[in-house]
């Protein structure tokens, strides 16, 4: 059974994180992040998205003893996702922990005034994560900006 922290709500709000997992396990299908933005996926990734990952990598490096440099590399490919222009991004790291896998897969799209970033780890195959995220995204409405 798939569970989520959305708690019977089908309205998603900006600057929030939502997750979807398999009930009774620690298997996380995906994290879904919403950012209020009118930028297209490429502009958002170049001006804001990549910076979010670099800041996290810097914070992780600073708390390690001795301090370390966490290097990230990115593979960015244009695609379409549920009928929208999107990006597939693979973020690779030279450092791995439970919260920072060596590879994280992102799908980034613009939807009704939001940047939607779907984030998932490789769990043998990424196809189930992609399929589930498409199903989930197709069932939700996005809150109007005036609701913030």
Structure tokens at 57: 């990598």
- Over residues 46-98, the pLDDT tens digits come to 999 999 889 888 888 888 878 888 889 999 999 988 778 899 999 888 877 65
Is residue 137 scored above 90 in pLDDT? no
Task: Go through the domains of the chain in sequence order and give each one's CATH number.
Answer: 2-141 (3.40.1000)
How many other β-carbons are positioned within 10 Å of the β-carbon of residue 144?
11
C-alpha 20/C-alpha 29 separation (Å) is 6
Overall pTM > 0.75 = no
Structure tokens at 129: 């994560």
- 67 three-class SS: coil
β-pair partners for 2: 22
pLDDT at 148: 30
Model confidence at 2, in pLDDT bands (50, 70, 90)? Answer: very low
pLDDT at 22: 52
Interval 17-31 mean pLDDT: 58
Is residue 43 scored above 60 in pLDDT? yes
Is residue 14 scored above 70 in pLDDT? no
Is residue 11 scored above 50 in pLDDT? yes
3-state DSSP: the chain helix, strand, coil percent, rounded to 5?
A: 25, 40, 30
21 closest CA partner among 31, 34, 7, 11: 31
Question: Cis peptide before 66, with omega less than 30 degrees from 0?
Answer: yes
pLDDT at 70: 85
pLDDT at 42: 97
């Amino acid at each position: 059974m798939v569970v989520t922290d959305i708690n019977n709500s089908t309205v998603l709000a900006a600057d929030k994180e939502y997750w979807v997992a398999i009930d009774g396990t620690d298997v996380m299908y995906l994290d879904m992040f919403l950012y209020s933005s009118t930028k297209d996926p490429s502009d958002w990734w170049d001006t804001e998205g990549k910076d979010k990952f670099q800041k996290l990598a810097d914070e992780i490096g600073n708390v390690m003893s001795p301090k370390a440099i966490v290097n990230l590399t990115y593979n960015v490919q244009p695609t379409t996702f549920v009928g929208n222009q999107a990006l597939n991004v693979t973020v690779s790291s030279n450092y791995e922990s439970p919260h920072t896998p060596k590879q994280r897969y992102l799908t980034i799209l613009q939807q009704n005034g939001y940047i939607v970033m779907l984030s998932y780890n490789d769990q043998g195959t990424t196809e189930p994560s992609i399929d589930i995220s498409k199903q989930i995204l197709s069932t939700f409405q996005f809150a109007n900006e005036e609701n913030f």
